[in-house]
Each structure stands twice: as structure tokens, then as C-alpha cells.
Chain A
Amino acid sequence: MANGARVSNVPNWLSGSMVARKHVLFGIGSFLLPLLVWCAVSYLPFVWHPKVLIAAPGGADYFQVGMLVDKSVFDEEFANMQAQNLPVPKGEPANPIYLPAPHEVAKAFYTSFSKAPQQKDLPWLHESLWHSITIIFWGFLISSLIGVPLGVLSGTYPTLSHLSEPFIEFFRYLPAPAFGALAVAVLGIYDAPKIAIIVVGTLFQQILIIANTTRKLDSTIVEAALTLGTKRMRLLTRVVVPGILPDLYRDQRILLGWAWTYLIVAELIGTSSGITWFITQQARYQHFDNVYAAIMMIGIIGFGTDILLARLGRRLFPWDRSQKKE
């Protein structure tokens, strides 16, 4: 293929199964390394542990069992008690409340799905997540319904591109959250403004990215179609669109990730909802283990969808050689 961007110049030895196994191992390792750091910080008392968890208050009258105090405060009281010949307080080094240990988060992860929330007014984690997913779905769908056709058209017809792209270039620098108040004023306080923010955040990038992808289509392919007697509209539907489809699909995957990053901001607009509301509520009650579980859930869903979509892409576009690199 003459298209430089899509030609694989990966040497042959990279396609071996040895290398594939190595890639999987490294992939697992890339997750294990940060987990290892987290474990070290959580379980090795000498690594960080700036606080002390009081086991017995001793003579210090404001210490209570289960209280977290700064190490310096504990040391001071310890010296005080010794000096006054009172029973010394006992305690263990601990991390601040906002850094739960891995096993606590794992437990929270499990209980958030298995046990009803402690506060009656709080939604289940999966309810919050589902609400967020519907917001993303509608936001991304509306954005794609406008952005994909417009992107393909302005990538195909230079006139349209000159007419639309300068404004879009300008507009994409306006931060989507800045439209929050406006969106609430126009669309109310529930889901509509949140969807609108995701659309505003995704759409303008989407048009430009897809227009660019369309322009990168190998011109020889279009010319070949022309010499075979293809006429205008069919050139678009039978040549341009199928020609860019694998790259368009890849762009959409990246843009979907983009939409997720706008989610948290979008959900703070109007009445807080979805996973964001779950997170802020749990943080308010200092259930940081739940907060971590929820944040991780977002990561798992986002990453999981992308892996699934990548698999699906390989199934859908068997001719696309650049996908083998992934």
C-alpha cells in the first residue's frame, strides 16, 4: 500500500508467538507494578505511614481507640505521659484515611455490588454506573450522528472543509464545562445538559479528526474507482467510506475515551448524578475505599470496552493490516 501511515514497518520477528507471550507478560506487569507500589505503601509500616492509629489512649485524655493522629502529635503525647508517669498511649503506624489498603478497596469493590448501601439515600454502585453509561451513550451517539457524516464530507470536499473547519478549530478551544451554566439554563437540571456537555466536548474534535482521516485515504484508490466509472455519490458510499472505515473505527474508539473524560465534569452540572454523585457522596462520608472502587470501576469499564471494541474491529475488518500491530 502506498499509504505511509498505515503501512506496517514492524519487522517480521515481532509477529512470532514468543513475542506475543512476552507482550502479554509485560502487559500484566504494567498493572502489577503500580499495584506493588500501592501494597508497599500500605503494608510496609516504614514506607510512609505518617499517622498513628490509637490502640489504647493511655493517659492522653483526648485520644480515643480507633483515632488517627499525626505521628508528631502521638510522639509528643507519648513523651508527655512518660514525663508525667501516666500510662503511655499505644498505637500503630497508619496511612491517612484517604489512602486505603488494596484489600480494603477490594472488599469495598465486592460489597458495593453485594450489600445495599449503608445510607438509604445512596444508590448502588451499579445503579450509578449504569446512569453514567447511559449519559455517555447518548452523548457519544448524538455527537457521532453529527460528527461522523460532517467529518467524512468535509474530508472529501475541500470547499466544505474550508467553509466549516476554521470555525470548528476555534470552537474546539472553548472548554466544554464552560457551557455548563448555559446548558442548565437551556436544557434544565437533569440529564439533558450533561449529555450536551459530552456532545460539546466530543463533537468538534470528532469532526476534525474524522475529516483528517478521510483526507488520508490513498488517492490512487479513489482514482482507480473513477476510471472504473464510479460517479459522485457512489464514490462516497462505495469507496471513501469503506476505505476509511477501519481508521474511522479507531478514531471512534479514541473519541469514546475522550467522552469518558468529560463525564465527571458533565455529571456535576445541574443535579449531580451517576458515578460522580456516588463518588462525592462516598467521599463526604469518608468511605474512601468506595471512592477508589468507583474510580477503578470507571477505568475497568472504559478499558474493557476499548479492548472489546478492538477485538470486534479485528473481526469486522479482516483486511486491515495495521490492526495486527495492536
Chain B
Amino acid sequence: MNNTSINKSYLDQSEAVRARFDAIKQRNVILEARNLGKCYPSQQGDVEALRDINFKIHRREFVCVVGPSGCGKSTLVRTLAGLEKHNSGEVLIDGKPVNGPGQDRGMVFQGYSLFPWLTVKKNVMFGPEMNGYGHDEAERDALLWLELVGLSKFANAYPHQLSGGMRQRVAIARALVNQPRILLMDEPFGALDAQTRAKMQSHLLEIWRNVDITILFITHDLDEAIFLADRILVLKAHPGEVQEMIEVPVPRPRSMGQFTDAEFRATKQRLEQLIHPPVSSEESDEDKGIKPHLIRFTHVTDNVE
């Protein structure tokens, strides 16, 4: 990390960006975590996965969550979704505390969570049907959403016939057709190849621009976080705590060309400082104590470099 090469600080915001953040802060709060805490029982006693998490997400805001491995990113999003119970604090949706999963918080998982026995269309119809819509209404909504994610042609295909990217599109459509207040995404593009992932990122931004939806997006890819987010929530591990909430100074609309911009690099540098502090290799490295001892297995003249 070369500090001198970047003159700009991640805290410097252009006029347009500052005005945008001011506007966002005027909007209603959709999701709020208040003193959220979560413990796991384990053989070595209770493990504190989340401690005193506080943040607010405003309407139509795009927030990414990053952090070192084991910092509780997934636990956080699963707790917000109601799939795991929190031990302290509250999760508020539109100011009302929620417990347990519900259709107001849609979720897209990293793994393929589509129902393999249902066609693509029936997968998307599942949510509306569970929430009391009739078959025809559910079908109409499903077809509309399939068109929005560009999969109308595959309405009658089964999930196993689709590629990874297409399956995640269906998963997004299936979550959004329920009109959730917030869309929780747990490393949704983590299993995709780089090219598909880039395409899906642009596609997600496109959806977000056109639909009244607030997004909380978990990722371990810092470029992805900066590219997508308005704000980035940085967690630290053991226990999972909020380290910093960064306002991304990169102006919108975003494009791949911005990856080399000063704002982008400044933000990335800050994230790297937070997530991979220079001392980490000495202190809490998971690989500590593993020292490879390589013996030469090839002839001394047989060199590859």
C-alpha cells in the first residue's frame, strides 16, 4: 500500500456525491440494527459472533458489508433475515421490531437455493402463492419479473438446466416478486466466474435503479463492494463489530472504467487497511504455524523460471 501514490482521501467527496448522500439521509429508514448481539454456544463456551451492531439503511440505499473471513458477515445477514435468533438488541423494519423470517426481507443466497422440483416460473410464483395471491396473479407477477431479469424464454425450464448466473437471476426475481422492503444478498455472486460476476453486478445495479428496493449486500470482494455500494459497512472479526461505515465517494452512475479512478483507489486502500492491517500476519493469521518446507523434486537443471 503506497500512500504517496494516492493523494485523495476516501473521505473527500465531490459536490454531487455529497448532495446525493444528503438526499439519501433525508429518506426514511428501512432497516435498523440496534445494539444487535449474537452468541453461539460451542464446546469452548459461548462464542460471540456479533457484538453491539448499530446501523441504519435508508430507502433505496445500496449498502455492502465487507470484513475479514470469520467476521460474522453471513451471521449478520442471516440474523437480519430472521434465520438465526439474536441474543440482544433489535432488528427494526420501518421502525417495527421483527423476529423470525418474513416476506418483508427477501434473501438471495450464495448457494443455489432454487427449488429444483419447480420450473423457473413456478419458483418465482412460490412467494406470491405463499402470501395468499391466486394462481393467475402470481403467474402474471412471475412472468413480469422473469422478463425483468431477461429469462422469459426459460420460464418452463428447470433450475438444473440453467447456468449459475441465470439461476441467481431467478433467485433475484423470486425474492423481488414478493416486494420485500429490503433485499438481503449473501455473497450472491461468490460462486460465479469473473465475467459472469461482472455482468451480474451491472445487471443488479440496473434493477436497483429501476425498482423501489433497498439492498444489503454481503461480499468479500472489495472491488465489488466499492462498485456497487453507496455505503460500505466494514466489520472486524472476533467478535464481529462495526469497524467503520464508509461513504463511497465514487460518483454514480458507476462503470467498470471507474476502477482506476482516484476515489475508487482511495476507498479500496482504506478498506484494505481495515481488513488486512499490517500486523495481522504476526498476530491473528489463521495460517500461523504452517511453514511449507519444500524439497526439490526435479533435476537441478530442469528450471521453470
Note whether A and B form a binding pair: yes
Binds B, one of A124-132, A220-228, A262-270: A220-228
Chain B residues with CB below 8 A from A230, complex form: 130
Contact A224 B107 (CB under 8 A): yes
| A223 and B130 form a contact (CB under 8 A) | no
| Beta-carbon nearest neighbor of B127 in chain A | A228
In the complex, which residue of chain A has the Cβ closest to the Cβ of B111? A2
* Beta-carbon contact of B130 and A2 below 8 Å: no
Interfacial residues of chain B within 93-151, with CB under 8 A of chain A in the complex: 101-103, 105-107, 109, 111-118, 126-127, 130-131
Q: Which residues of B contact A220 (CB under 8 A)?
A: 109, 111-113
A250 to B296, CA, bound (A): 51
In the bound assembly, the distance between CA atoms of A208 and B114 in angstroms comes to 27
Residues of B within 8 A of A1 (CB): 111-112, 116, 160
Cα–Cα, bound, A218→B159 (Å): 15
Chain B's closest residue to A230 (CB) is: B130
Digit string of A312-324 for contact with B (CB within 8 Å is 1, else 0)? 0000011111000
Q: Are A228 and B126 in contact (CB under 8 A)?
A: yes
Residues in A229-245 with C-beta less than 8 Å from chain B? 229-231, 234, 238-239, 242-243, 245
**Cβ–Cβ contact B111 & A228, under 8 A:** no
User: CA separation between A2 and B113, bound complex, in Å?
Assistant: 9
Specify which chain A residues have a CB less than 8 angstroms from the CB of B198 in the assembled complex: none
Q: How far is the CB of B156 from chain A (nearest CB, A)?
A: 11
Q: Which of A184-241 contact B (CB under 8 A)?
A: 218, 220-221, 223-231, 234, 238-239
What 0/1 readout, one digit per residue, does chain B (72-89) give for beta carbons within 8 Å of chain A?
Answer: 000000000111000000
- Give the docked Cα–Cα distance between A228 and B101 (Å): 8
In the bound assembly, the distance between CA atoms of A239 and B127 in angstroms comes to 12
Given A318-B158, A321-B160, answer yes or no on A228-B116 (Cβ-Cβ < 8 Å). no
Shortest CB-to-CB span from A32 to chain B, Å, is 37
Interface range on chain B (Cβ under 8 Å from partner): 20 to 34
Among residues of B, the one whose C-beta sits closest to the C-beta of A235 is B130
Residues of B within 8 Å of A319, CB to CB, are 116-117, 158-160
The distance in angstroms between the C-alpha atoms of A107 and B114, with both chains bound, is 56
CB of B174 within 8 Å of the partner chain: yes
> How many residues of chain A are within 8 Å of chain B by beta carbon?
25
Task: Give Cα A259 to B172, complex, Å.
Answer: 46
Give the residue name and chain of the A residue nearest to B113 (CB).
A224
CA gap between A288 and B109 in the complex, in Å: 63
Which has the most chain B C-beta neighbours within 10 Å: A229, A238, A239, A317?
Answer: A229
B71 to chain A, nearest CB (A): 21
Q: Which of A242-285 contact B (CB under 8 A)?
A: 242-243, 245
- Flag whether B175 is at the interface (Cβ < 8 A): yes
The answer, yes or no, to whether B214 is at the interface (CB within 8 Å) is: no
Q: In whole Å, how far is A2's beta carbon from the nearest beta carbon of chain B? A: 4
Are B83 and A229 in contact, CB atoms less than 8 angstroms apart? no
| Contact (Cβ within 8 A) B117 A229 | no
* Most chain B CB atoms below 10 A, which of A228, A231, A238: A228
Identity of the chain A residue whose Cβ is nearest the Cβ of B116 in the assembled complex: A319
Q: Does B219 contact A (CB under 8 A)?
A: no
* Residues in A neighbouring B81, C-beta threshold 8 A: 223, 227
Q: How far is the CB of B157 from chain A (nearest CB, A)?
A: 10
Task: Enumerate chain B residues within 8 angstroms of A218, measured Cβ to Cβ.
Answer: 111
Let me know if A223 and B103 touch, CB within 8 A: no
* Given A221-B113, A239-B115, A228 and B178 contact (CB-CB distance below 8 Å): yes
Evaluate contact between A229 and B178: CB separation under 8 angstroms. Answer: yes
| A83-112, CB < 8 A from B | none
A236 to B131, alpha carbons, bound, how many Å? 16
> Of B114, B158, B175, which is within 8 A of A227 by CB?
B175
Chain B residues within 8 Å of A223, by CB: 81, 83, 101, 107, 109, 113
**In the bound complex, how far is the Cα of B193 from the Cα of A162, in angstroms?**
43
Tell me which residues across on chain A come within 8 A of B107, comparing CB atoms: 223-224, 227
Neighbour of B130 across the interface among A221, A229, A242, A318, CB < 8 A: A229
B→A interface (CB under 8 Å):
81-83, 101-103, 105-107, 109, 111-118, 126-127, 130-131, 158-160, 171, 174-175, 178, 184
* CB-based closest 4 A-B pairs: A229-B103, A224-B113, A226-B101, A228-B127
List 5 additional A-B contacts (Cβ < 8 Å) besides A220-B113, A224-B171, A319-B159: A1-B112, A224-B114, A225-B126, A227-B103, A319-B160
A contact residues vs B (CB 8 Å cutoff): 1-2, 218, 220-221, 223-231, 234, 238-239, 242-243, 245, 317-321
